[in-house]
């Protein structure tokens, strides 16, 4: 028998090279410059509209490789039989087809080398279905390695590769030079003591904030490297409408860029939306001594992470700069040179990341605002990011201090997919499991509504894996399942003392956690002293039949075993996340029958989730009593909260339901766009049944607000409701419909809505998936490209006969516009970036150039 591992090496280069060349499109002249180097998937010749190699040809190429390898074995040598050879051919063909799917750039692939590149191709091809034996597996691996070697060699020989690599290196060097210039301008002359401490502090920041905890992963993989785990989210900012009369529209910006355009930002985001993760990412990036990340505003800066829950103590003043590190328990605080923080801030080098205004008591927020105002005035020119839940403080709370307000947007469809796939890779779970979860989330409106932020996505991933595909369908069931997973799973990493110490039953852990949570909620606290927590535990022990156990021992077991409590600083205790605190507190509120206390706090936004979850736990009569009390408050908030509560109560008498719905009817149709968003948030799908339709004779303005309400609901039912407006002729209605498809399943929205709209309405695209969907409709007339783009994607996927107006909003200046000649019907192009005159002159004759560069509007033609 021949050594199978040697077969691949016996296939001569003269035989492999022609086969590999057939996989790729012919090379063209020049450097092939685009905004980024070319993806391999853009080079293969079996994708796109103009194919000279079909997927069937890829199968033939794989078969030819296998045949030539077996032929090279020589007479009488039979490493695998005919059936095994066919299976190897099928597996190899599927693996080579991955060339059209992977997102690796050509230069990145070359940098990987043949072994790692082969692993990259194999990553999405499970071998189990092919039934390969040991010999077949070895033959497959050797042939894949041989093909990978020749593929990478082919890439380096393309005429555009060398030119592009030289260009890329030139651009990287230019960015590095600019970064060094910024660094030299920003760094003052420092004493050796300051410089040495600053380096040690930067190392601490990188270690302290450089990892994230991933929910539901087993011991050893719970900590995820931040640079791998960070998922770029979007923040939105108000932008005036064109006519000056409409409610604010919103333009998105990458969350990590929020400090690029504004020195002082107040960022709102719901629980679990990624505010703290963003704070960590900014801190680590600013502390890192890497200057080619493109964020020049962070170069040479010193980050200070200031979680409000840790620095605000009852009866104590907020810290002055010199006490920042000590206030957050920084272990190198004692080494800090006297006056170092003040020197950093006076040099305008600080990045102050104040996290969680909502996590301090309401009566301390005014003091926090005064503290921020005094610091900003005393040390101008530094970067500030302050975060909070959306409604914890009034609108424009820090506007007088010069802060710009932004809001973290919910994760979109692509963001959810990216998170889920990364989670399953980190958990070493089969790719098919993650895809199954994504299919469930996309097809189930309740799950789709839950998967809006990293926290909830992480819980869904863990529950889906642990329950082998079963997922709860509502919030109460989801939290209940999460509690069971966290409190009952065998986490050996937390068993610090083996079998020593008290072991707490699931029900006991829940009861103790409820008491701690309800105490925090009643006292408007996010954190308690350790002694306060021990007192609550001590008082509960006799009733829990734990009188023989010490309070310290029980508390320690709860801290180590539950995974829901943590000690963020010495002597302080809080919940891992506010979501769990609200859920557990609501459970105890119902057990204690504190319904009046709940309703009496309905005017406070931080009690919303507690009240709604209490309705989910309450018995029917108790829930009906709460709903009646909420409507009797006579306030829009109470009415909307009652309407939202209908979705949580398991059983409600028709009379009570009717009363709530009648109260909600006073708020629909909404009179403003802000009212539309508020009604959608409170009522969800319930609102859809109360909104008037186009057949009800409403005017265009009302119709626009109704459509905006349904868009804000964002559910499957909302999409069906919106389809009733697709023939509406109102300009605002058509604009809302054309610009809202990123809130829904794109393909379904395109079929149900976009296909029925005038093609000249602007439609935003941000991914190649968007372009594919528009192409499936036969093309579009006015396309707004949001963010970075690849020229090849636009020229290949945009239907040239359809496009008449193009808007480009790239984060970096457009490098060229000569490619616009690919669109013969193009009449106007708007570029929302700075252009130099040479680039502006590349616009083809007959195409009007628009943008923030009026001096170029009179450019010569021809």
Q: Which two tokens stand for residue 238?
A: 């108000």
Query: What is the model's pLDDT at position 857?
Result: 42
Question: Residue 239 above 60 pLDDT?
Answer: no
Q: Which of 86-90, 297-301, 413-417, 801-805 has the highest mean pLDDT?
A: 801-805
Question: Residue 31 above 50 pLDDT?
Answer: no
2 vs 725 pLDDT, higher one: 725
Whole-number Å distance between alpha carbons of 321 and 241: 41
Whole-number Å distance between alpha carbons of 619 and 627: 12
Query: What is the model's pLDDT at position 501?
Result: 55
Q: Which two tokens stand for residue 77?
A: 């040598």
Contacts (Cβ under 8 Å, ≥6 apart) of 242: none
Query: What is the model's pLDDT at position 162?
Result: 58
Mean pLDDT for the chain overall: 78
Q: Tokens 């509502």 correspond to what residue? A: 474
Share of the chain above pLDDT 90, in %: 22
The three-state secondary structure class of 383 is strand
Question: Residue 614 above 90 pLDDT?
Answer: yes
Please list the helix, strand and coil fractions of the chain in percent, rounded to the nearest 5, in that order: 55, 10, 35
pLDDT digits (tens, 9 = 90+) for 416-455: 888 888 888 777 778 888 888 888 887 665 576 667 777 7
Per-residue pLDDT band at 10 (split at 50, 70, 90) = very low
Query: What is the model's pLDDT at position 219?
Result: 36
Q: How many residues does the chain have?
A: 862
Per-residue pLDDT band at 244 (split at 50, 70, 90) = very low
Question: Residue 168 above 60 pLDDT?
Answer: no
Q: Which of 33-47, 473-487, 489-503 has the highest mean pLDDT?
A: 473-487
Nearest to 159 by CA among 24, 18, 23, 14: 24
Residue 390: count other Cβ atoms within 10 Å of its Cβ.
16
Question: Residue 387 above 70 pLDDT?
Answer: yes
Per-residue pLDDT band at 496 (split at 50, 70, 90) = very low
Asked if 355 and 574 count as a contact pair (C-beta separation under 8 A), the reply is no
Burial of 490 (0-12, 13-18, 19+ CB in 10 A): exposed
Question: Residue 516 above 90 pLDDT?
Answer: yes
According to DSSP, the β-strands at 565-566 and 572-575 are antiparallel
Whole-number Å distance between alpha carbons of 748 and 764: 16
Share of the chain above pLDDT 70, in %: 76
Per-residue pLDDT band at 560 (split at 50, 70, 90) = low
Mean pLDDT of 501-505: 74
Helices (H) and strands (E) in the chain, counts: 38, 17
Contacts (Cβ under 8 Å, ≥6 apart) of 212: 223, 224, 226, 229, 230, 277, 280
Per-residue pLDDT band at 242 (split at 50, 70, 90) = very low
Query: What is the model's pLDDT at position 303?
Result: 95
Question: Residue 183 above 60 pLDDT?
Answer: no
Across the beta sheet with 572-575, what order do the strands follow? 528-529, 572-575, 565-566
Angle between helices 82-97 and 55-71 (to 10 degrees): 130
pLDDT-wise least confident of 160-164, 589-593, 696-700: 160-164
């Amino acid at each position: 028998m021949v050594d199978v591992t040697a077969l691949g090496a016996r296939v001569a280069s003269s035989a492999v090279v022609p086969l590999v060349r057939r996989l790729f499109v012919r090379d063209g002249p020049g450097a092939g410059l685009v905004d980024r180097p070319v993806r391999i998937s853009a080079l293969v010749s079996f994708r796109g509209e103009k194919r000279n190699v079909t997927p069937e040809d890829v199968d033939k190429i794989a078969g030819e490789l296998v045949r030539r390898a077996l032929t090279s074995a020589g007479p009488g040598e039979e490493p695998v039989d005919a059936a095994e050879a066919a299976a190897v051919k099928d597996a190899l063909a599927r693996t080579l087809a991955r060339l059209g799917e992977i997102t690796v750039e050509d230069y990145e692939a070359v940098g990987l080398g043949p072994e790692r590149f082969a692993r990259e191709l194999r990553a999405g091809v499970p071998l189990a279905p092919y039934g390969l034996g040991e010999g077949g597996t070895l033959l497959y691996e050797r042939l894949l390695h041989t093909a990978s070697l020749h593929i990478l060699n082919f890439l380096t020989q393309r005429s555009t590769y060398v030119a592009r690599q030289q260009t890329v290196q030139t651009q990287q060097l230019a960015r590095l030079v600019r970064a060094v210039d910024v660094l030299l301008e920003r760094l003052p002359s420092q004493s050796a003591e300051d410089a040495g401490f600053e380096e040690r502090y930067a190392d601490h920041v990188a270690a302290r904030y450089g990892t994230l905890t991933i929910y539901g992963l087993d011991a050893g993989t719970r900590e995820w490297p931040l640079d791998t785990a960070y998922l770029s989210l979007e923040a939105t900012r108000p932008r005036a409408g064109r006519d000056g009369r409409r409610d604010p529209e919103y333009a998105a910006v990458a969350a990590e860029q929020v400090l690029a355009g504004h020195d002082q930002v107040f960022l709102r985001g719901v629980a679990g939306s990624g505010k703290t993760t963003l704070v960590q990412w900014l801190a680590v990036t600013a502390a890192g001594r890497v200057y080619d990340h493109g964020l020049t505003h962070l170069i040479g800066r010193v980050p200070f992470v200031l979680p409000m829950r840790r620095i605000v103590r009852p009866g104590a003043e907020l810290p002055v700069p010199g006490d920042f590190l000590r206030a957050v328990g920084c272990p190198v605080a004692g080494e800090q040179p006297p006056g170092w923080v003040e020197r950093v801030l006076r040099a305008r080098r600080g990045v102050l990341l104040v996290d969680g205004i909502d996590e301090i008591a309401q009566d301390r927020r005014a003091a926090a605002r005064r503290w921020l105002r005094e610091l900003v005035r005393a040390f101008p020119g530094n970067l500030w990011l302050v975060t909070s839940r959306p409604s914890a403080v009034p609108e424009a709370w820090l506007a007088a201090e010069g802060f710009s307000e932004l809001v973290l947007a919910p994760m979109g469809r692509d963001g959810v997919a990216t998170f889920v796939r990364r989670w399953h890779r980190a958990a070493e779970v089969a790719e098919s499991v993650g895809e199954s979860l994504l299919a469930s989330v996309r097809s189930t409106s309740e799950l789709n509504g839950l998967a809006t932020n990293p926290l909830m996505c992480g819980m869904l991933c863990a529950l889906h894996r642990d329950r082998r595909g079963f997922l709860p369908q509502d919030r109460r069931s989801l939290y209940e399942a999460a509690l069971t997973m966290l409190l009952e799973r065998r986490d050996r990493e937390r068993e610090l003392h083996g079998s020593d110490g008290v072991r707490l039953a699931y029900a006991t852990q829940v009861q103790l956690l409820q008491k701690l949570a309800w105490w925090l909620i009643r006292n408007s606290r996010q954190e308690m002293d350790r002694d306060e927590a021990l007192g609550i535990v001590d008082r509960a022990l006799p009733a829990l039949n734990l009188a023989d156990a010490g309070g310290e021992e029980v508390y320690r077991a709860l801290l180590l075993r539950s995974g829901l409590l943590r000690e963020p600083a010495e002597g302080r205790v809080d919940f891992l996340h506010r979501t769990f605190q609200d859920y557990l507190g609501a459970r105890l509120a119902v057990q204690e029958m504190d319904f009046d206390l709940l309703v009496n706090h309905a005017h406070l936004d931080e009690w919303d989730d507690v009240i709604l979850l209490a309705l989910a736990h309450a018995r029917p009569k108790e829930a009906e009593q709460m709903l009646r009390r909420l409507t009797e408050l006579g306030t829009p908030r109470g009415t909307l909260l009652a309407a939202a509560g209908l979705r949580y109560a398991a059983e409600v008498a028709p009379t009570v339901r009717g009363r709530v719905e009648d109260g909600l009817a006073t708020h629909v149709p909404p009179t403003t766009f802000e009212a539309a968003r508020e009604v959608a948030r409170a009522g969800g799908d319930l609102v859809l049944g109360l909104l008037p339709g186009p057949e009800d004779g409403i005017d265009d303005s009302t119709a626009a607000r109704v459509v905006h309400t349904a868009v804000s609901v964002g559910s499957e039912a909302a999409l069906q409701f919106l389809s009733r407006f697709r023939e509406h002729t109102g300009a605002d209605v058509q604009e809302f419909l054309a610009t809202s498809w990123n809130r829904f399943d794109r393909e379904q929205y395109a079929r149900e809505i976009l296909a029925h709209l005038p093609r000249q309405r602007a439609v935003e695209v941000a991914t190649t998936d968007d372009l594919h969907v528009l192409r499936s409709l036969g093309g579009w007339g006015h396309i707004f490209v949001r963010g970075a783009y690849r020229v090849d994607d636009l020229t290949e996927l945009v239907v040239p006969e359809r496009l008449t107006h193009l808007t480009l909003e790239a984060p970096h200046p457009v490098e060229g516009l000569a490619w616009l000649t690919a669109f013969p019907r193009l009449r106007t192009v708007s570029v929302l970036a700075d252009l130099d005159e040479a680039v502006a002159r590349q616009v083809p004759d007959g195409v009007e150039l628009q943008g923030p560069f009026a001096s170029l509007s009179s450019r010569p033609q021809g």
